[in-house]
Copies of this chain bind each other. A is one copy, B any other.
Amino acid sequence: MRAVLLNAPGEVQVVDREPPRIVEATDAVIRVAAACVCGSDLWPYRGVDFIEPRFMGHEYVGVVEEIGADVQSVKPGDFVVGSFIYSCGECEFCLAGYTSKCVHGNFITAVGGTQAQFVRVPHADGTLVATPGTPEPDLVPSLLAASDVLGTGWYAAVAAEVGPGKTVAVVGDGAVGLMGVLAAQQLGAERIIVMSRYADRQHLAREFGATDIVEERGRDGVARVRELTGGFGAHSVIEAVGTKESMMQAIKSTRPGGHIGFVGVAHDGDDIPVKHLFASQVHLHGGPAPVRRFLPDLIDRIMKREIDPGKVFDLTLPLEEAAEAYAAMHERRAIKALLTT
């Protein structure tokens, strides 16, 4: 089969690789219908945390090709959406909704990238959700979004305790931030402020429900959010970048007693002063999104056409042109690229 390999920073290749097969009785093998490039894929692409060549991709939808003897919830032929972290669905943490910390779980990349024609999914029963029937083709991008970027934005909004009557600020106008806007709108936020300097992203943010755009950054950005919130700061803030600066921006934009949902992937050196956290008196919660918790609800909203998160894909290319998909996102020519197989 064909699969995307990041051979070195900036060097994306599509290569031949042995297709995966069932290893454990709880596995499923999926024929990938669509995969995509994640903002977090750009970190190793840019040389951050790049250690050795690796197969890429962790977002996926597709059709079940084969299942292990113990798999019960999906069968060959089912169209399925999976989380970027596989999870058993039965452990202490899965039962508490933290499927991303499943004691038997791991990132799907640990068993193979999903920017490929096939992928093996461990713990299929705890990881995959079948759609009711085969979805119309135009719904595939939205279902693919649910696999990570929508699920992550949704988790950020839930972690930030978004709800009716609240003002939400979103730090980061990448795909996850934009999905955070959509989630905030769906969860009933009264006002949604997005920090963005790019016209195309501002446009999409408004389509997803943003009511205010703040173009300023840093101290000026914080001042503007405070100005828009009566001097108090937002009730809920979604942090979707993952740097010390964006985290401090989020903390300073939140009112005392307010909530930050942070989902930007932090790196070494991004330390925040406890002193500021202490004084800010905000609530902080985040981490890798337990997407599986939200999948049934998200799939339902998508199948009923209540939400259209697939709009976040502004570039669609065949798998063979993955290198261009990475380059376009790296150069900000695309917000998020979908790969067809």
- What is the CA–CA distance of A256 and B155 in the complex, to the nearest angstrom? 14
| Contact digits for A252-272, partner B, Cβ 8 Å, 1 yes 0 no | 000111000010011110111
Task: List the B residue with the shortest CB-CB distance to A272.
Answer: B274
- Contact A273 B281, CB 8 Å, known A93-B256, A257-B101: no
Q: A285-B283, A286-B281, A287-B281 are in contact. Are A274 and B256 (CB under 8 A)?
A: no
Inter-chain contact B278/A266, CB cutoff 8 Å: yes
Of B98, B267, B278, B288, which contacts A287 at CB under 8 A?
B278
Give min CB distance, A226 to chain B, whole Å: 12
Chain B residue at smallest Cβ distance from A232: B92
Which of B270, B278, B283 is in CB contact (< 8 Å) with A274?
B270
Least CB separation from A230: chain B residue: B92
Which A residues from 148 to 187 make CB contacts under 8 A with B?
A: none
Quick one: given A101-B257, A257-B96, A257-B98, are A281 and B288 in contact (CB under 8 Å)? yes
Number of interface residues of A (CB under 8 A): 38
Which residues of chain B are within 8 angstroms of A273 by Cβ–Cβ distance? 266, 268, 270-271
Which of B268, B271, B278 is within 8 Å of A271, CB to CB? B271
Selected from B100, B265, B278, B285, the residue in CB contact (under 8 A) with A262 is B278
A-B contact pairs, 18 of them (CB 8 A): A92-B230, A96-B257, A100-B281, A101-B257, A242-B278, A244-B274, A247-B274, A265-B278, A267-B275, A270-B273, A271-B273, A272-B272, A277-B286, A277-B287, A278-B286, A278-B288, A279-B288, A281-B286
Residues of A within 8 A of B (CB): 92-93, 96-98, 100-101, 230, 232, 242, 244, 247, 255-257, 262, 265-268, 270-275, 277-288
The 6 closest A-B pairs by CB, nearest first: A101-B256, A266-B274, A281-B287, A271-B271, A284-B284, A98-B257
